[in-house]
Amino acid sequence: GQQLNQSPQSMFIQEGEDVSMNCTSSSIFNTWLWYKQDPGEGPVLLIALYKAGELTSNGRLTAQFGITRKDSFLNISASIPSDVGIYFCAASPGSSNTGKLIFGQGTTLQVKP
């Protein structure tokens, strides 16, 4: 079945460093999404991408929808302690009215002040 490979699985970085994570698949998708989950809370949508090649920013976050439609990356610039959490990529084939998403396994980010 369809699967997303998200990497890295975890990152431990120094405050101020830039962060990069990505998701790849052997399947083609029409929508790519990035979420952040704080401890004990539900995931929150960070960025939504709907067009191949699209590059979108949200503050210090930048995400791109791969041109092949099989991958996406998320960059965080100048990390701060509140960036700590689990980041999930998600994708939709867009061919069904169920709205089901495929999720990556998450990247756990820890930031050292």
Partner 1 sequence: SQTIHQWPATLVQPVGSPLSLECTVEGTSNPNLYWYRQAAGRGLQLLFYSVGIGQISSEVPQNLSASRPQDRQFILSSKKLLLSDSGFYLCAWSMGVGGPQHFGDGTRLSIL
Q: Write the single-letter amino acid at 56.
A: T
Instruction: Answer yes or no: are the C-beta atoms of 104 and 87 closer than 8 Å.
Output: no
* From 19, 87, 106, 111, residue interacting with partner 1 (rule: CB under 8 A): 106
Shortest CB 78 distance to partner 1, Å? 26
* From 22, 92, 109, 111, residue interacting with partner 1 (rule: CB under 8 A): 92
What residues numbered 47-66 form the site for partner 1, per CB under 8 A? 48, 50
Mark out the alpha helices in 26-104 (DSSP H runs).
Answer: none
Sign of CA dihedral 69, 71, 76, 82: positive
Query: Nearer Cβ to partner 1, position 60 or 103?
Result: 103
